[in-house]
């Protein structure tokens, strides 16, 4: 019998109180009210011990003292929806997200292939034919023109389509006779596969691609952490963790190389159960890792017309997109996760997908009492009649403000004017009483949360366009924007007891920034970069002068 299970405690190396003084400190309190302070005392566990007002007495002999020099201190930002390893691999592999035309992309592909002669496949992501103004999907021939002799396989910016050259299709044994799998589509041209594979059809090429080695995963995680710290993200919800991803997180944790806090959602039920077993994991590594729930995909994305709509696409009248799960499959997965106390996060972009997710939650609520904190990820296009249901059902709307600025023109084309009322409808959701958690969907967008805050309060893009904001009635206040990236993002992952604010007892995760985001212009906020990033009371990142 286990008669003496020793309770082990994790202790940070002994330095006692740390005082960060002379700051313009900003945080929300546990109820979402703005709190200002000028000094922060951190205890030996890396938690906030005390917030100090100008007049408060300072600890007399802190073991470590930092002068904030009057700069602004804000809570570390939490990305409520990202893909940690996706970011890492984007940083490691070919990234086309900055290319502005097909020709520019082809040049980048050619150069990357030349610089990496040892790579058996050229793998990458970030292309967006809309951004290129191409008016069509690219083709295998477009890729062959850049790299004819090695497989090339490139994910679209939204991850919902892949672009292969002829060598990659040959490796994957794709021919004119290949069949589109359920939930996916092989794009055809002249009776042959064109080179583009939508949603589930991507697996046909993925299966032939060499698998990344563990050291590739470790390197990708290192790069992702570095990038997140530079951008002021101290915690991130990882939406769709695989067992290989999880093992990389644990390896980093075991070696004391996990700095960023990862709130993990298993990529479907099997990953969830294999990773966490019969219940969510404990908080690991000083609250740096936990599997809290599962991510389910109910539909695809708007750009690739995979989002599931109630009425046909305005620019493709025969298509309504695809549900990726039957009603029974969705409910079955939700029940399996919930019975074992896992949180459920449902990817739903189209209005039909959002309605179906809300219907499923309605159906199950009576049989699954307790605090479920159902999440809908993206909640992008919502039929206005469904908006009040988020609050009624206590569903968290996990949204990515920057998507609105990137998608604006595409969304207008896909949806037509009438359906834009419930598109990226932040204020409507908040006013109806729904809780908004904000994220980036990195690597679909940059992980940088500051353009997200700017978009949330202004509905304008990096160029400040359109003037006055796109559907500016859907902007939110600065408090709601900050809340979405801090307190509510923590709440959305059952982490509000330790993360998201700088109130006493919370982990001392914070940023030193150049200006006060409660006062700065949207443009200033958008360009803001952290000068310092602290996690658990330690400074992990300092911007080079």
Q: Residue 105, preceding bond cis, omega within 30 degrees?
A: no
Token reading at 341: 């106390």
**Residue 196: how many other CB atoms lie within 10 Å:** 25
Dist. CA 506–CA 46, nearest whole Å: 9
CB closer to its own copies, 7 vs 328: 7
Q: Does 209 sit near its own copies (CB under 8 A)?
A: no
CB closer to its own copies, 281 vs 319: 281
Chain residues 499-538 in contact with its own copies, contact rule CB under 8 A: 536, 538
In the list 35, 273, 368, 393, the residue contacting its own copies (rule: CB under 8 A) is 273
Q: Does 243 sit near its own copies (CB under 8 A)?
A: yes
Smallest gap, in angstroms, from Cβ of residue 470 to its own copies?
A: 37
Q: Quick one: how far is CA 451 from the chain centroid? A: 14
DSSP character string of 469-510: -SSGGG---HHHHHHHHTHHHHHTTT-TTTSSS-STTSB--E
Dist. CA 238–CA 255, nearest whole Å: 20
CB closer to its own copies, 226 vs 365: 226
CB closer to its own copies, 11 vs 463: 11
In the list 257, 332, 477, 521, the residue contacting its own copies (rule: CB under 8 A) is 257
Instruction: Tally the residues of the chain.
Output: 545
In the list 54, 255, 326, 545, the residue contacting its own copies (rule: CB under 8 A) is 255
Q: Does 392 sit near its own copies (CB under 8 A)?
A: no
Q: Does 545 sit near its own copies (CB under 8 A)?
A: no
DSSP character string of 24-72: EEEEE-TTS-EEEEEEEEE-TTSBEEEEE-TTSPPPSS-SEEEE-TT-E
**Nearest residue to 288 (alpha-carbon basis) of 341, 325, 250, 314:** 250
Q: Does 207 sit near its own copies (CB under 8 A)?
A: no
Smallest gap, in angstroms, from Cβ of residue 106 to its own copies?
A: 34
Chain residues 19-78 in contact with its own copies, contact rule CB under 8 A: 46
Dist. CA 84–CA 441, nearest whole Å: 10
CB closer to its own copies, 120 vs 472: 120
**Stretches 277-285, 300-308, 322-330, 479-487: which one binds its own copies (CB under 8 A)?**
277-285
Q: Does 7 sit near its own copies (CB under 8 A)?
A: yes
Dist. CA 477–CA 458, nearest whole Å: 9
**Nearest residue to 74 (alpha-carbon basis) of 461, 494, 479, 423:** 479
Smallest gap, in angstroms, from Cβ of residue 274 to its own copies?
A: 6
Chain residues 280-299 in contact with its own copies, contact rule CB under 8 A: 281-282, 284-286
**One symbol per residue from 108 to 137: x for binding its own copies (CB under 8 A), - otherwise; what is it?**
------------------------------
CB closer to its own copies, 100 vs 543: 543
Count of residues that bind its own copies according to CB under 8 A:
50
Cβ atoms of 33 and 503 within 8 Å: the answer is no
Q: Does 250 sit near its own copies (CB under 8 A)?
A: yes
CB closer to its own copies, 47 vs 459: 47
**Nearest residue to 379 (alpha-carbon basis) of 406, 349, 355, 402:** 349
Q: Bridge-partner residues for 196, per DSSP? A: 163
Positions in the binding site for its own copies (CB under 8 A):
1-13, 46, 213-215, 217-218, 222, 225-226, 243-244, 247-248, 250-251, 254-257, 259, 273-278, 281-282, 284-286, 536, 538-542
């Amino acid at each position: 019998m286990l008669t003496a299970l020793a309770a082990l405690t994790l202790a940070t190396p002994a330095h006692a109180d740390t005082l960060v003084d002379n700051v313009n400190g900003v945080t929300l309190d546990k109820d979402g009210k703005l709190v200002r302070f000028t000094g922060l005392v951190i205890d030996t566990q890396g938690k906030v011990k005390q917030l100090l007002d100008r007049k408060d007495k300072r600890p007399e002999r802190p073991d470590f003292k930092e002068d904030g020099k009057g700069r602004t201190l804000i809570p570390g930002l939490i990305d409520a929806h990202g893909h940690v390893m996706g970011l890492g691999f984007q940083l490691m592999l070919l990234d086309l997200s900055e290319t502005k035309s097909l020709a520019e992309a082809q040049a980048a592909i050619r150069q990357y292939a030349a610089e990496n002669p040892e790579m058996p496949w050229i793998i990458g992501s970030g292309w967006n034919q809309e951004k290129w103004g191409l008016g069509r999907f690219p083709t295998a021939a477009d890729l062959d023109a850049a790299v004819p002799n090695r497989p090339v396989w490139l994910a679209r910016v939204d991850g919902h389509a892949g672009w292969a050259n002829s060598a990659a299709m040959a490796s994957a044994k794709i021919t004119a006779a290949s069949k589109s799998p359920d939930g996916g589509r092989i794009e055809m041209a002249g009776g042959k596969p064109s080179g583009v594979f939508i949603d589930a059809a991507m697996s046909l090429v993925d299966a032939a691609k060499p698998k990344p080695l563990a050291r590739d995963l470790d390197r990708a995680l290192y790069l992702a952490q570095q990038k997140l710290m530079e951008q002021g993200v101290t915690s991130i919800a990882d939406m769709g963790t695989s067992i290989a991803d999880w093992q990389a997180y644990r390896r980093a944790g075991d070696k004391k190389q996990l700095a960023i806090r990862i709130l993990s959602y298993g990529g479907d039920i099997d990953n969830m159960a294999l990773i966490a077993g019969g219940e969510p994991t404990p908080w690991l590594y000083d609250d740096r890792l936990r599997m809290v729930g599962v991510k389910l995909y109910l539909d695809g994305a708007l750009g690739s017309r995979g989002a599931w709509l109630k009425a046909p696409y305005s620019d493709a009248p025969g298509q309504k997109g695809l549900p990726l799960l039957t009603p029974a499959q969705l409910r079955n997965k939700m029940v399996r996760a919930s019975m074992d106390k896992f949180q459920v996060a449902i990817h739903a972009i189209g209005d039909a997908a959002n309605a179906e997710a809300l219907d499923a939650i309605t159906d199950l609520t009576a049989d699954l009492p307790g605090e479920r904190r159902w999440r809908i990820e993206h909640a992008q296009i919502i039929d206005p009649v469904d908006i009040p249901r988020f609050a009624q059902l206590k569903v968290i709307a996990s949204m990515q403000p920057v998507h609105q600025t990137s998608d604006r023109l595409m969304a207008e084309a896909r949806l037509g004017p009438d359906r834009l009322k419930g598109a990226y409808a932040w204020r409507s959701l908040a006013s109806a009483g729904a809780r908004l958690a904000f994220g980036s969907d990195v690597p679909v967008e940059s992980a940088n949360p500051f353009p997200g805050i700017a978009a949330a309060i202004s509905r304008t893009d990096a160029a400040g366009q359109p003037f006055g904001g796109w559907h500016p009635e859907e902007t939110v206040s600065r408090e709601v924007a900050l809340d979405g990236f801090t307190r509510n993002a923590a709440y959305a992952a059952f982490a509000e007891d330790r993360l998201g604010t700088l109130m006493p007892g919370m982990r001392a995760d914070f940023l030193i920034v150049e200006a006060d985001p409660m006062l700065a212009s949207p443009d200033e906020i958008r360009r803001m970069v952290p000068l310092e990033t602290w996690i658990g009371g330690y400074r992990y990142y300092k911007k080079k002068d």
